[in-house]
């Protein structure tokens, strides 16, 4: 019988090795899989390359993973926001690497990686610093820059509902990067608020088909980043 439910958060992340590339879903706090990230902090894998749109806020979730010196390099589009101090501090001290990518290029690189496309051309960033040193090519009357697909060893994402096959449904703008990150990983680990019986999710409404999902952990009441930041919480 197919059952992708992991025993625990700890068991779900137990084989993430030092040096792994990890995609982490979320746009700001929306869709950030905080409990999985905290499990990764407990697990302790280091020297990670993390692909995520932002760098977290306060000292919880992704920011805590970075503060715990587990991340060697961030690939993201917007590494600073209102309450992010951890990444800027480490970056200014030269203790973390940054690959800055336009948000649409980041999304397309992940989509391409998941779809087996090694590289593609885009007009985004042409003529800017972020295209410097990259191959460009003219199609018809316009210039494009070549960008490479991205894949990960693990993707950690949050969804609203799953069944044991791994079919997923998300909540509003918490969906953001999660569906494409599921496609781009060797192992996709999902925290969901609710696990339902197979057949309960309308096939017409499935956003991520189960083929892209390998492990599911139920976190019924996930923490909200902004609430933890407001309470000045710190992890661990």
Partner 1 sequence: MLPVTAPGKISTDWSRQDMARLVAADIPDGACVNLGIGIPELVAQCVPAGREVIFQTENGLLGMGPAPAPGQENPELINAGKKPVTAIPGAAYFHHADSFAMIRGGHIDICVLGAMQVSAQGDLANWSTGETDAIPAVGGAMDLVAGVKKIFVVTEHTTKNGEPKIVAACTYPLTGKAVVDRIYTNLAIIDVTPKGLVVRKIAPGLDLAAVQKKTAAPLLDGGATSL
**Nearer to partner 1 among residue 127 and residue 199 (C-beta):** 127
Tokens encoding 30: 């929306």
CA atoms of 77 and 58, how far apart (whole Å): 19
CA atoms of 158 and 133, how far apart (whole Å): 35
Residue ranges in 169-188 that form contacts with partner 1 under rule CB under 8 A: 170-180
Q: Give the count of beta carbons closer than 10 Å to the beta carbon of residue 126.
A: 15
Mark 28-67 with x for binding to partner 1 (rule: CB under 8 A) and - for no binding.
xxxx---------------------x--------------
Phi and psi, residue 8, nearest 5°: -160, 170
Q: Is 150 in the site for partner 1 (CB under 8 A)?
A: no
CA atoms of 136 and 153, how far apart (whole Å): 29
**Nearer to partner 1 among residue 13 and residue 23 (C-beta):** 23
CA atoms of 228 and 214, how far apart (whole Å): 29
Q: Is 224 in the site for partner 1 (CB under 8 A)?
A: yes
Residue ranges in 59-118 that form contacts with partner 1 under rule CB under 8 A: 77-82, 87-88, 91-92, 98, 100-108, 110-111
CA atoms of 215 and 36, how far apart (whole Å): 11
**Nearer to partner 1 among residue 31 and residue 166 (C-beta):** 31
Footprint on this chain of partner 1 (rule: CB under 8 A)? 27-31, 53, 77-82, 87-88, 91-92, 98, 100-108, 110-111, 122-130, 170-180, 207, 224-227
């Amino acid at each position: 019988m197919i059952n992708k439910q992991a025993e625990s958060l700890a068991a779900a992340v137990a084989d993430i090795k030092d040096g792994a590339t990890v995609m982490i879903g979320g746009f700001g706090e929306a869709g950030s899989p905080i409990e999985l990230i905290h499990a990764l902090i407990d697990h302790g894998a280091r020297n990670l390359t993390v692909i995520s749109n932002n760098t977290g806020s306060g000292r919880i979730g992704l920011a805590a993973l970075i503060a715990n010196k587990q991340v060697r390099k961030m690939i993201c589009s917007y590494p600073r926001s209102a309450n992010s101090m951890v990444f800027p501090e480490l970056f200014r001290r030269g203790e973390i690497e940054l690959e800055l990518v336009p948000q649409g290029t980041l999304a397309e690189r992940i989509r391409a990686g998941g779809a087996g496309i090694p590289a593609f051309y885009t007009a985004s960033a042409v003529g800017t610093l972020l295209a410097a040193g990259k191959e460009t090519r003219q199609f018809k009357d316009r210039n494009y820059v070549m960008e490479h697909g991205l894949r990960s060893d693990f993707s950690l994402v949050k969804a609203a509902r799953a069944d044991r096959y791994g079919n997923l449904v998300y909540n509003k703008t918490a969906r953001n990067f999660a569906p494409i990150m599921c496609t781009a990983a060797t192992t996709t680990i999902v925290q969901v608020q609710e696990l339902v019986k197979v057949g309960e999710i309308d096939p017409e409404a499935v956003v991520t088909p189960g083929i892209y999902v390998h492990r599911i952990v139920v976190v019924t009441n996930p923490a909200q980043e902004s609430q933890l930041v407001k309470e000045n919480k710190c992890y661990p």
